[in-house]
Amino acid sequence: MSQTLLLPPHRFEPGTDAARPPILLLHGTGGDENDLLPLGRLVAPGATLVSPRGTVLENGMPRFFRRLAEGVFDEDDLRRRTDDLAAFVRDMQHRHGLAAPVALGFSNGANIAASLLLRHPALLRGAVLLRAMVPFRVAPPAQLDGTPVLLLSGAADPIVPAAVSARLAAMLTDAGAAVTHRTLPTGHGLSQTDVNLARDWIAALPGESA
């Protein structure tokens, strides 16, 4: 028997350019469904934007999954929340007739986007991961079959060490993703360079096959 999915708070902005893939916006800790809409409009003008709010609260701040400490994830919760997010994406595709989206995640949102790639490999058209960490100590088996991923790290990021970024890039590459990894001269916050690189990368994605 089918069940109605209880949708999280979210924003949906219909696109004006049918050639562009939808963008799934995933905010960082303390953000909400409104935070990344301006970024989505900048990097993918004309694209449909889907922006859910994380349903976990940490000291009153929304997140997409629980953590046990800074940089230490509750992996059981991460798996469950990732599966919930995948169900939300499929529901939005069904409701609105959307193609596979490109995930655009920052920090906590980038972490669950990486988890989404590994747990639901066929769901996403690609992903832009801004300041992402390795989601799992041991990577789940996944076949990403050339799924394009842009990973942008900060050389002076106090939260995500360079070795962690490199390990995530290797984990996704080993799963078959086509990873472009750039380390920028910045910290954990976003820069204009992030915007420019993400915009150009999304614009260069090959079109959907007929």
CA dihedral 56, 98, 94, 106 (to 10 degrees): -10
Is the distance from CB of 13 to CB of 48 less than 8 angstroms? yes
Tokens read off for 206: 């090959």
Of 27, 164, 14, 163, the residue nearest 104 (C-alpha):
27
- The total of other beta-carbon atoms located within 10 Å of residue 45's CB is 14
The active-site residue out of 107, 115, 153, 165 is 107
Number of residues in the chain: 210
**Choice among 35, 84, 157, 194 that is catalytic:** 157
Catalytic (active site) residue 107? yes
Tell me if residue 157 is catalytic: yes
**Catalytic residue status for 120:** no
What residues are annotated to the active site? Answer: 107, 157, 188
